[in-house]
Structure 1
Amino acid sequence: MQEQLTDSFGRRIEYVRLSVTDRCNLRCFYCLPGDFRNFPEPDAWLGFDEIERVIAAFASLGVSKIRLTGGEPLLRRGLPDLAGRLARLLGIADLSLSTNAVLLARQAGALRAAGVRRINVSLDTLRPDRFAAITRGGRLDKVLEGIMAARRAGFAPIKINMLALKGINDDEFEDMVEFCLEHDFTLRFIETMPVGAAGRAATRHYLDLQEVKRRLASRFELIPGMMPGGGPARYMQVAGTRLRIGFITPISRHFCATCNRVRLSADGTLYLCLGQDYRYDLRALLRSGADSAQLRAAIVQALVLKPERHEFREKPRQVIRFMSMTGG
């Protein structure tokens, strides 16, 4: 019988969010300061062989879901090759990708062929000028081109992640619903989180998603919905359609009691909670010659550090790292 990875609170860990780079080609104001360039050198990142060893160890402990993240993961050279290696690992049943889609048009086919099946795209607005302002210079047309290329390549579902920002994009929620209805995408709204200095500054635009749900319900008939996947969204469905709308509420209604994930950063740091700073250095272990049994033992030991819950409300200044350094 395959082992199961369980933390101190009885939660089964079956999902790893794998950051392959901490760099990004956009500068969304809620994620990175506009002038930030102090990224580690690439030799600090795990190589593909090291990543494969770590994910194989997780798979042997019962993890079946892997999400490729960043920064922007499509900036990592050779990503389809890595995706193929991970997709072939025994026990990995679900390989997905989170991206801003700027570079997706040219890589969608190769990633689909490599074994990536699901894709999440960050898209906070459908207005080119507003997109450029939020991302500090990004081009909306490149994102839309990437999303449509992903649809043609056969990715399903394609989930659109929209950060709900009071005073910035709160006049577009219904427009985004219509966009996803038209193209058969899934839509997920996300609350802002105080991760890093940029994230804390953005909390002045915080919007409780219960308010968003009530507003949408006044225009669309929403019924309870379900969606496969290992994430934290609570779903509603627009009656008479296939559109599911997810609400990710780390602040207003946290989901820590059902947390099933850990995050592995590009430099081999295992983060046990997005909203805390508990971490375990796997890179040092890998590069000291540890064998597979020692690697599995280290992962089990690291799980002891996973806290019961985050403290975004109580200690908003606790997490100083940028979101891009953790893997979303």
Structure 2
Amino acid sequence: MVSWPQPSSCQGAERNDCISRFGKVSTVSQFTDNFARRFYYLRLSITDVCNFRCTYCLPDGYQPQGTQNKSFLTLDEIRRVTRAFAAAGTEKVRLTGGEPSMRRDFTDIIAAVRENDAIRQLAVTTNGYRLQRDVARWRAAGLTALNVSIDSLDARQFHAITGQDKFDLVMRGIDAAFDAGFSKVKVNTVLMRDVNHQSLETFLDWIRSRPIQLRFIELMETGDGGTLFRQHHISGAVIRDQLIQQGWVLQARARSDGPAQVFRHEDYQGEIGLIMPYEKEFCASCNRLRVSATGNLHLCLFGDGGVSLRDLLAHDGQQEALQARIAASLATKKQTHFLHQGNTGITQNLSFIGG
């Protein structure tokens, strides 16, 4: 393991001020597992509540998990957990849910994470229903990247998939994101056989003159979604083969990027990304860890359980203990998921941990 340099704000004469703001400067080495994978990327869920009823995630709407009176991570707990990860090499944080913008303090959460200069990228994955109203505020607070879930460019099919007649609202939200200064927007599309897998040309026409990275995500089996998976799963290789035939070129992947294979074409302003968790060696480049909205560390989206961090997030002064617990947990991270065997772990639906 290699030591990670401290952020510039913790150097020289400003060091004491940095310590007072962020706590004791860490000497913990970068988070690394037994397979030499380094973790630059934290996916932090801040709620499991969602107002959409997507067929592949929450077809019956949001149902509280566990106790009815559970509490989600507070603003200060979010500061502490992201500070600990940043001090051990994490440079990208993605805020997820559920639908993260359902938290009333969402803009404050963005600002709190961005207090730490070591977090170079702060992204959110959203269903987009509050984009038009709030995206300018999010960008002003420090949000640097945006993923919006859109599974169809047909308004009626969008309604059928999400349970919400909000297609036009979400599309206006994407326009608002560009107006707010985002140079690129990523759009997540869950790839489903006989639903949208034959719509590639429609999506390509949409991104021809728009700086949108459209990401096709293979439908993944969850504990609640086995029947739908068997009906609608299709490999992203079908899309990849079409792209290559049309002259799209695979791009190199940066160390803090997500798992997408990204393709570009000289005739298009937009890009295509493919996320294919069933492809061989998908897990070999894993660079991300997950923390749930209730403060559990998850080493894999489809793992068997979580490691509680909540007791070490209650107050300042626990950062080294927190980092030590995370580092020790990495010794148990498996080399791969077991989706091919139909083992979905504890993930009953994709809002449970944050997708």
TM-score past 0.5 threshold: yes
Q: Does 2:14 correspond to 1:14?
A: no
- Corresponding position of 2:220: 193
Match of residue 250, structure 2, among 218, 224, 228: 224
- Displacement after TM superposition at 1:144 (Å): 0.5
1:258-285 Cα offsets, whole Å, 9 max, x none, are: 1000111100011100122242101133
Name the SS of the counterpart of 2:175 in structure 1: helix
- Corresponding position of 1:28: 54
Match of residue 130, structure 2, among 96, 100, 103: 103
- The 8 Å contact of residues 49 and 62 in structure 2, kept in 1 or not, is answered as no
- Corresponding position of 1:291: 318
Name the SS of the counterpart of 2:216 in structure 1: strand
Name the SS of the counterpart of 1:10 in structure 2: coil
Partners of 1:42 and 1:173 in 2: how far apart?
A: 44
Q: Which amino acid aligns with 1:8?
A: N
CA 1:305–1:227: 2 relative to 1, 3 Å? closer
Name the SS of the counterpart of 1:194 in structure 2: coil
Partners of 2:300 and 2:264 in 1: how far apart?
A: 29
Partners of 1:227 and 1:12 in 2: how far apart?
A: 15
Partners of 2:170 and 2:224 in 1: how far apart?
A: 26
- The 8 Å contact of residues 18 and 69 in structure 1, kept in 2 or not, is answered as yes
TM-score (norm 1): 0.93
Q: Does 2:116 correspond to 1:89?
A: yes
CA 1:241–1:199: 2 relative to 1, 3 Å? same
Match of residue 71, structure 1, among 98, 102, 109: 98
CA 1:4–1:235: 2 relative to 1, 3 Å? same
Partners of 1:288 and 1:224 in 2: how far apart?
A: 45
Percent of residue pairs identical: 36
- Corresponding position of 2:168: 141
Q: Does 2:189 correspond to 1:162?
A: yes
Gaps of 5+ in 2: 5-28
- Displacement after TM superposition at 1:163 (Å): 1.1
- The 8 Å contact of residues 305 and 345 in structure 2, kept in 1 or not, is answered as no
Partners of 1:181 and 1:94 in 2: how far apart?
A: 26
TM-score (norm 2): 0.86
Name the SS of the counterpart of 2:264 in structure 1: strand
Question: Which has the larger displacement, 236-245 or 180-189?
Answer: 236-245
CA 1:124–1:254: 2 relative to 1, 3 Å? farther
Partners of 1:252 and 1:53 in 2: how far apart?
A: 35
Q: Which amino acid aligns with 2:50?
A: C
- Displacement after TM superposition at 1:293 (Å): 1.6
- Displacement after TM superposition at 1:183 (Å): 2.0
Name the SS of the counterpart of 1:126 in structure 2: coil
- The 8 Å contact of residues 196 and 323 in structure 1, kept in 2 or not, is answered as no
Cα RMSD after superposing both structures: 2.0
Name the SS of the counterpart of 1:197 in structure 2: coil
Name the SS of the counterpart of 2:262 in structure 1: strand
- The 8 Å contact of residues 16 and 263 in structure 1, kept in 2 or not, is answered as yes
- The 8 Å contact of residues 33 and 198 in structure 1, kept in 2 or not, is answered as no
Q: Which amino acid aligns with 1:281?
A: S
- Displacement after TM superposition at 1:320 (Å): 4.1
- The 8 Å contact of residues 125 and 131 in structure 1, kept in 2 or not, is answered as yes
- The 8 Å contact of residues 34 and 136 in structure 1, kept in 2 or not, is answered as no
- Corresponding position of 1:265: 292
1:220-269 Cα offsets, whole Å, 9 max, x none, are: 32123346552011122123333321111001345201100011110001
CA 1:184–1:263: 2 relative to 1, 3 Å? same
Q: Does 2:69 correspond to 1:62?
A: no
Gaps of 5+ in 1: none
Partners of 1:251 and 1:74 in 2: how far apart?
A: 30
- The 8 Å contact of residues 54 and 161 in structure 2, kept in 1 or not, is answered as yes
Partners of 2:71 and 2:102 in 1: how far apart?
A: 16
- Displacement after TM superposition at 1:308 (Å): 0.7
Q: Which amino acid aligns with 2:152?
A: T
1:21-72 Cα offsets, whole Å, 9 max, x none, are: 1011101010113144224556521101011101101111111110011111
CA 1:177–1:203: 2 relative to 1, 3 Å? farther
1:131-171 Cα offsets, whole Å, 9 max, x none, are: 11101234211111111111111123211111111111123
Instruction: For 1:116-135, list aligned pairs within 5 A.
Output: 116-135=143-162
Decide which structure has the larger Cα Rg and report it.
Answer: 2
Name the SS of the counterpart of 1:313 in structure 2: helix
- The 8 Å contact of residues 86 and 118 in structure 2, kept in 1 or not, is answered as yes
Question: Which has the larger displacement, 197-206 or 116-125?
Answer: 197-206
CA 1:48–1:199: 2 relative to 1, 3 Å? farther
CA 1:120–1:227: 2 relative to 1, 3 Å? farther
